Amino acid sequence: MTRREQGTRRIGRGWLVAAIGVAAAAVAAAMIGPVGALTASPATNASAPATNPVPPPTTNSSAPAMNAASSITTIAVSPAAQSATPAGWAPVSYGNAQLSVPGSSWLVEAPQQRFCGLADFDGMIFAGITPGFPKGWNCGVTASLAWILPAGKIPKGLTHRKPSAVIHGIPVYRLTSAKGTIAYLVPELGVRIGARGKLAARVLATLTRSPLDVVLSRGPAARVPARWTWQQFGGVEFAAPRPWTRQREDQWSTCGTGLWTNALLLVDATKPPLYPPCPLQLPFASVDEAEPGLVAVTGKYAAESVGESYGRCQSRRGVRICLSSVTGQGGLPAGVLIFSVTRPHHAATYFLLGLAGSGATARAVFDSIGLRRA
Mean pLDDT of 48-55: 43
What is the per-residue DSSP string for 146-215? Answer: EEEEE--SPPTTGGGSPPSEEETTEEEEE----TTEEEEEEGGGTEEEEEESTTHHHHHTT-EE-HHHHH
Asked whether the CA dihedral 198, 201, 204, 208 is positive or negative, the reply is negative
126 is a domain residue: yes
pLDDT above 70 for 255: yes
Q: What is the mean pLDDT of the chain?
A: 80
Q: What percent of the chain has pLDDT over 70?
A: 77
The length of the chain in residues reads: 374
Q: Which of 134-138, 187-191, 206-210, 245-249 has the lowest mean pLDDT?
A: 134-138
Q: Are residues 332 and 195 located together in one domain of the fold?
A: no
Mean pLDDT of 259-275: 93
Q: How many domains does the chain have?
A: 2
Which pTM does this prediction carry?
A: 0.80
Mean pLDDT of 286-303: 95
pLDDT value at residue 230 = 96
Rounded Cα–Cα distance for residues 273 and 190 (Å): 37
CA nearest to 106, candidates 96, 92, 87? 92
Rounded Cα–Cα distance for residues 264 and 271 (Å): 20
pLDDT above 70 for 327: yes
170 is a domain residue: yes
Domain that holds residue 152: 24-207
Q: Are residues 198 and 283 located together in one domain of the fold?
A: no
pLDDT above 70 for 81: no
362 is a domain residue: yes
pLDDT above 70 for 299: yes
pLDDT value at residue 15 = 36
Residue 208 near residue 170 (C-beta atoms within 8 A)? yes
Asked whether the CA dihedral 207, 329, 282, 358 is positive or negative, the reply is negative
Q: Are residues 102 and 70 located together in one domain of the fold?
A: yes
Of residues 311 and 3, which shows the higher confidence score? Answer: 311
Q: Are residues 31 and 143 located together in one domain of the fold?
A: yes
Q: Are residues 102 and 157 located together in one domain of the fold?
A: yes
Q: Are residues 132 and 192 located together in one domain of the fold?
A: yes
pLDDT above 50 for 328: yes
Give 17-48 pLDDT, tens digit per residue.
322 222 223 333 344 443 222 222 233 333 33
pLDDT value at residue 116 = 83
Q: Are residues 151 and 246 located together in one domain of the fold?
A: no
Q: Alpha carbon of 182 to those of 121, 257, 344: distances in Å?
A: 21, 33, 51
Of residues 359 and 77, which shows the higher confidence score? Answer: 359
Q: Are residues 197 and 278 located together in one domain of the fold?
A: no
pLDDT above 90 for 239: yes
Give 145-167 pLDDT, tens digit per residue.
999 999 999 888 888 899 999 99
Q: Are residues 262 and 349 located together in one domain of the fold?
A: yes
Q: Are residues 197 and 318 located together in one domain of the fold?
A: no
Domain boundary among 155, 178, 207: 207
Residue 257 near residue 332 (C-beta atoms within 8 A)? yes
120 is a domain residue: yes
Give the pLDDT band of residue 374 (cuts 50, 70, 90): low
CA nearest to 100, candidates 195, 3, 169? 195
Mean pLDDT of 244-255: 91
pLDDT above 70 for 199: yes
Mean pLDDT of 9-19: 35
pLDDT value at residue 26 = 33
Domain boundary among 179, 207, 235: 207
Instruction: Judge if the upstream peptide bond of residue 276 is cis by omega within 30 degrees of 0.
Output: no
pLDDT above 80 for 192: yes
Rounded Cα–Cα distance for residues 113 and 7 (Å): 12
pLDDT value at residue 278 = 82
Give 96-130 pLDDT, tens digit per residue.
999 999 999 999 999 888 888 767 789 999 999 99
171 is a domain residue: yes
DSSP state, 135? G
How far out from the chain centre does Cα 199 lie? Answer: 22
Mean pLDDT comparison of 38-42, 70-74, 137-141, 261-265, highest-scoring range:
261-265
Q: Are residues 80 and 115 located together in one domain of the fold?
A: yes
Of residues 177 and 58, which shows the higher confidence score? Answer: 177
16 is a domain residue: no
Give the pLDDT band of residue 307 (cuts 50, 70, 90): confident
pLDDT value at residue 337 = 96
Q: Are residues 170 and 236 located together in one domain of the fold?
A: no
